[in-house]
């Protein structure tokens, strides 16, 4: 196993920058998820690490070695592809054996390792089949098996679960996590699904538009998103972002809505708002931190219910507030009807405040 | 499936009948086309086993009273001059067609792969330049190529034909194979390279085997083109011992105008390699033409 360091990594296609000055360190044995919307440069970043794409500028270290100019075969990595990329003409056995054959291992050694891997992944009975005779989930396992049969320094995975159905995805999620714990493997895992990143990874690197937005533990990213993009990308339903305007009355800073109401702030939040370069502030709140009231209570603001989605455990309500849509979760016994007038109360300790121009989270010095 | 089968007849009898009308029209048309293509071949075969006298008989017999293999014996007999010529032409054709096929595959496979996988300056221009040749009828190039071949001293060599046939066959071969490579996910090669293969090994060990149907189709196509070609072979070669089958048969039998069974027997034997090749490999040929076209 080895650590991986990306330093000011840039990849351009013509004048288009697919990856922009990305720097991050993946420690030995760490599971890092590279997460972001489609087209944000995740695959490109992974391919740079794999050596499938040439670096425009910057450095990639695997272990303590700069690998920029090494062929993929010399980087001691294994990769699991979104479409599995199993060799269609080879049996499962030969698919697993291929990386070992390429490394010129002895036949009996290959046989032993292939059978070990097959046993670990519980697919000994599939060894003679061709990939097209396997279900999606089985193909996924073979792809995983082909990666782990070689015991590489780093595992790279590009959306390995996104072609599976929802149930299998949840199951494989825990299996891969388990596999990471057992092997103490260094894993870079690409996904567009923030839930996968949050549930599986030690750290998540959120990307957007080729830029690394935030790199931290899922808990930190969830609790302290650095900007509006990360705030709305991580968490489901998404964090609600409500555009408001700061104004000061009687020495107290409040946030006012174009709808006429205003929201009082805690002293700490006041300091945050005062530090902004603009008076246009965006208030962010996660669904679970907003209280829904059927009548006005002190500190609450008026909103209008829009959709109501009971899911059994909780009911998700969407409401219009100051021109934005707000997600709220309530207990199933709260009866709300669409178009009903409701009042929302924000938890001052858990709201997020953003500068609407820089879109960065505001800090209280 | 079963649900559809149960409900369809009740709901739409009229529509079913109209479709049947079309289907029968299509079948009749196909039968007509089949007769149109197959009858001359039947005629060729039947004439080839007639005696010279029976071949000239009127009204003609579809099947001879006294079938004979005399024409075939004569053609395949290395002791007599007719047989010697025929066998030599056959051999010449085999050499030229095989050389064309082998070279065509050797050039088309890497060329198609490069057009499919790599982005390089002038890629589109080159690709269409390759196809440009096919926009003109072959005879247009007859005189220029003859002059060119004379200038480089290739007139009266089989090399002149091989070169010419390559320029005819390669564009389609490259086009067809490129479609094939386009449909092979690039991740397969990437996986192979990560698994320890060099770029070249990834191509040879993983991609090439997957494109076998395409390569076989390309080979058949080149072979048939070269095997049947007449005009260039007629123009570029003048020495009797070099002639290929199409020219040889024509020239030889214009001197023996009455030997129709001999002519038909030679024609039949000329078609044997192509038919055998096609029958053996048609599975791949069909797969090449359909897979290259549609698969994701
Ligand atoms: N070979 C290429 N040539 C040009 N643009 C590319 C190439 N590969 C990727 N891109 C562009 O780079 C961006 C990032 O792509 P990618 O890394 O595949 O995104 P994702 O985060 O969905 O994996 C996309 O806008 C894509 O169109
Ligand atoms: Mg991707």
Rg of the Cα atoms in chain B: 25
Q: Name every chain B residue with its beta carbon within 8 A of the beta carbon of A81.
A: 187, 190-191
Instruction: Check pocket membership of A300 for ligand 1, CB cut-off 6 A.
Output: no
Res B102 pLDDT > 70: yes
Using the Cβ of A52 and the Cβ atoms of chain B, whether some distance falls under 8 Å is answered with yes
- What's the domain count of chain B? 2
Res A200 pLDDT > 70: yes
With bands split at pLDDT 50, 70 and 90, how would you rate the model's confidence at B81?
confident
- Domain with residue A69: its CATH number is 3.40.50.300
Q: For the sheet with A203-208, list strands across it.
A: A65-66, A57-62, A4-13, A16-26, A211-216, A203-208, A31-35, A186-191, A154-158, A77-80
Q: Residue B47 burial by CB count (10 A; 0-12/13-18/19+): exposed, middle or buried?
A: buried
Mean pLDDT of B181-207: 94
Res B254 pLDDT > 80: no
pLDDT one-digit tens code per residue, B15-37:
556 668 888 999 999 999 999 99
Contact criterion met (CB below 8 Å) for B49 and B64: yes
Q: Name every chain B residue with its beta carbon within 8 A of the beta carbon of A99.
A: 195-196
Model confidence pTM above 0.80: yes
Q: A38 CA to chain B: closest CA distance, Å? A: 18
- Residue whose CA is at the smallest distance from ligand 1 atom 10: A18
Contact criterion met (CB below 8 Å) for B103 and B166: yes
Tell me: do A96 and A167 sit in the same domain. Answer: yes
Give the ligand 1 atom nearest the CA of A158. 23
Q: Name every chain B residue with its beta carbon within 8 A of the beta carbon of A150.
A: 195
Mean pLDDT of B75-84: 87
B71 in a domain, yes or no? no
Tell me: do A110 and A242 sit in the same domain. Answer: no
Q: Name every chain A residue with its beta carbon within 8 A of the beta carbon of B191.
A: 79, 81, 85, 87, 146
pLDDT score for B294: 40
Tell me: do B192 and B115 sit in the same domain. Answer: yes
Q: Name every chain A residue with its beta carbon within 8 A of the beta carbon of B209.
A: 89
A360 in a domain, yes or no? no
- Domain with residue B235: its CATH number is 1.10.3720.10
Res B11 pLDDT > 60: no
State which residues form the domain around A17: 4-225
Mean pLDDT of A284-304: 95
- Residue whose CA is at the smallest distance from ligand 1 atom 8: A44
pLDDT one-digit tens code per residue, A2-46:
999 999 999 999 999 999 999 999 999 999 999 999 999 999 999
- Supply φ then ψ for residue B279, to 5 degrees: -65, -40
Mean pLDDT of B68-79: 89
Q: Nearest CA to A290 among A251, A259, A336?
A: A336
Using the Cβ of B201 and the Cβ atoms of chain A, whether some distance falls under 8 Å is answered with yes
Res B155 pLDDT > 50: yes
- Domain with residue A318: its CATH number is 2.40.50.140
Using the Cβ of A353 and the Cβ atoms of chain B, whether some distance falls under 8 Å is answered with no
How far, in Å, CA of A286 to CA of A300, rounded?
A: 16
Tell me: do B30 and B142 sit in the same domain. Answer: no
Res B12 pLDDT > 60: no
Contact criterion met (CB below 8 Å) for A46 and A95: no
pLDDT score for A224: 95
The residue count of chain B comes to 296
Q: Which residues of B139-149 are buried (b: 16+ CB within 10 A; e: fewer)?
A: eebbeebbeeb
pLDDT score for B284: 77
DSSP structure string for A115-184: HHHHHHTT-GGGTTS-GGGS-HHHHHHHHHHHHHTT--SEEEEESTTTTS-HHHHHHHHHHHHHHHHHHT
Instruction: Check pocket membership of A272 for ligand 1, CB cut-off 6 A.
Output: no
The ipTM is: 0.86
The CA A159 to ligand 2 mean position distance, Å, reads 7
Q: Nearest CA to A188 among A42, A310, A347?
A: A42
With bands split at pLDDT 50, 70 and 90, how would you rate the model's confidence at B136?
confident
DSSP structure string for A204-259: EEEEETTEEEEEE-HHHHHHS-SBHHHHHHSSSSPPEEEEEEEEEETTEEEEE-TT
The CA A83 to ligand 2 mean position distance, Å, reads 11
pLDDT score for B6: 41
pLDDT score for A335: 87
pLDDT score for B168: 85
How far, in Å, CA of B214 to CA of B105, rounded?
A: 10
pLDDT one-digit tens code per residue, A123-149:
999 999 999 999 989 999 999 999 989
Q: For all residues of chain B together, what is the average pLDDT?
A: 85
State which residues form the domain around B44: 2-48
Mean pLDDT of A290-297: 94
Tell me: do A165 and A269 sit in the same domain. Answer: no
CB contact under 8 A, A79 and B197: no
Tell me: do A193 and A46 sit in the same domain. Answer: yes
- Residue whose CA is at the smallest distance from ligand 1 atom 17: A41
Neighbours of A330 (CB within 10 A): 20
* Closest residue, chain B, to A89 (C-alpha): B210
With bands split at pLDDT 50, 70 and 90, how would you rate the model's confidence at A249?
confident
Tell me: do A142 and A28 sit in the same domain. Answer: yes
With bands split at pLDDT 50, 70 and 90, how would you rate the model's confidence at B252?
low
Using the Cβ of A313 and the Cβ atoms of chain B, whether some distance falls under 8 Å is answered with no
How far, in Å, CA of A245 to CA of A252, rounded?
A: 14
Mutate to test the interface with A, among B119, B120, B195 (most CBs of A within 10 A): B195
Using the Cβ of A105 and the Cβ atoms of chain B, whether some distance falls under 8 Å is answered with no
Percent of chain A with pLDDT over 90: 88
Give the ligand 1 atom nearest the CA of A207. 21
pLDDT score for B7: 42
Contact criterion met (CB below 8 Å) for A102 and A179: no
Tell me: do B144 and B221 sit in the same domain. Answer: yes
pLDDT one-digit tens code per residue, B213-224:
889 888 988 999
Using the Cβ of A48 and the Cβ atoms of chain B, whether some distance falls under 8 Å is answered with no
A211 in a domain, yes or no? yes
Percent of chain B with pLDDT over 90: 43
How far, in Å, CA of A107 to CA of A321, rounded?
A: 68
DSSP letter, residue A316:
E
Q: Which residue has the higher pLDDT, A359 or B258?
A: A359
Tell me: do A208 and A156 sit in the same domain. Answer: yes
- Supply φ then ψ for residue B209, to 5 degrees: -60, -35
- What's the domain count of chain A? 2
């Amino acid at each position: 196993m080895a650590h991986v360091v990306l330093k000011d990594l840039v990849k351009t296609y013509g004048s288009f920058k697919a990856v922009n000055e990305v720097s991050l360190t993946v420690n030995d044995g760490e599971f890092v998820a590279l997460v972001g919307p489609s087209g944000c440069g995740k695959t490109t970043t992974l391919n740079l690490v794999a050596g499938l794409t040439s670096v425009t500028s910057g450095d990639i270290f695997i272990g303590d070695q700069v690998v920029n100019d090494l062929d993929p075969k010399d980087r001691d990595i294994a990769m699991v592809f979104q479409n599995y990329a199993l060799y269609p003409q080879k049996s499962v056995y030969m698919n697993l054996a291929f990386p070992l054959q390429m490394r010129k291992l002895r036949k009996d050694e290959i046989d032993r390792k292939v059978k070990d891997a097959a046993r670990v992944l519980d697919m000994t009975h599939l060894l003679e089949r061709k990939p097209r005779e396997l279900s999606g989930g089985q193909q996924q396992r073979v792809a995983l098996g082909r990666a782990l049969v070689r015991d590489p320094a780093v595992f790279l995975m590009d959306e390995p679960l996104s072609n599976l159905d929802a149930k299998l995805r949840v199951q494989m999620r825990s299996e891969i996590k388990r596999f990471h714990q057992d092997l103490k493997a260094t894993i870079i895992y690409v996904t567009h699904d923030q839930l996968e990143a949050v549930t599986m990874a030690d750290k998540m690197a959120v990307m957007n538009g080729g830029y690394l937005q935030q790199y931290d533990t899922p808990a930190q990213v969830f609790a302290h998103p650095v900007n509006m993009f990360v705030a709305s990308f991580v968490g489901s339903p998404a964090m609600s972002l409500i555009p408001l305007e700061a104004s000061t009355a009687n020495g107290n800073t409040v946030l006012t809505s174009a709808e006429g109401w205003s929201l009082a702030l805690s002293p700490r939040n006041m300091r945050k708002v005062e530090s902004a370069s603009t008076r246009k502030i965006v208030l962010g709140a996660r669904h679970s931190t907003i209280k829904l009231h059927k009548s006005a209570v002190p500190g609450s603001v008026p909103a209008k219910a829009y959709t109501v989605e009971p899911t059994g455990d909780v009911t998700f309500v969407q409401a219009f507030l100051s021109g934005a849509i707000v997600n709220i979760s309530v207990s199933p016994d709260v009866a709300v009807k669409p178009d009903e007038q409701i009042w929302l109360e924000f938890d001052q300790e858990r709201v997020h405040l953003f500068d609407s121009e820089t879109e960065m989270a505001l800090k209280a010095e | 499936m079963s649900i559809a089968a149960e409900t369809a007849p009740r709901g739409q009898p009229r529509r079913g009948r109209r479709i049947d009308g079309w289907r029968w029209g299509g079948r009749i048309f196909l039968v007509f086309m089949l007769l149109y293509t197959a009858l001359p071949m039947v005629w060729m075969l039947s004439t080839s086993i007639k005696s010279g006298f029976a071949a000239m008989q009127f009204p003609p017999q579809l099947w001879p009273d006294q079938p004979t293999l005399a024409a075939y014996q004569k053609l395949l007999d290395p002791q007599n001059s007719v047989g010697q010529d025929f066998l030599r032409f056959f051999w010449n054709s085999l050499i030229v067609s095989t050389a064309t096929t082998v070279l065509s595959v050797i050039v088309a496979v890497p060329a198609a792969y490069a057009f499919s996988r790599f982005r390089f300056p002038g890629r589109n221009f080159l690709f269409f330049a390759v196809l440009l040749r096919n926009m003109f009828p072959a005879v247009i190039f007859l005189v220029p190529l003859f002059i060119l071949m004379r200038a480089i001293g290739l007139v009266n060599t089989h090399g002149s034909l091989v070169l010419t046939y390559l320029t005819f066959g390669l564009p389609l071969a490259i086009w067809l194979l490129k479609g094939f490579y386009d449909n092979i996910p690039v991740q397969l090669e990437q996986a192979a390279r990560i698994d320890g293969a060099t770029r070249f090994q990834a191509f040879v060990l993983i991609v090439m085997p997957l494109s076998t149907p395409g390569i076989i189709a390309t080979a058949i196509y080149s072979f048939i083109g070269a095997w049947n070609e007449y005009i260039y072979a007629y123009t570029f070669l003048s020495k009797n011992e070099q002639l290929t089958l199409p020219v040889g048969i024509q020239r030889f039998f214009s001197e023996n105008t009455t030997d129709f069974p001999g002519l038909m027997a030679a024609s039949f034997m000329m078609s044997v390699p192509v038919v055998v090749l096609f029958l053996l490999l048609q599975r791949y040929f069909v797969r090449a033409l359909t897979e290259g076209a549609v698969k994701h």
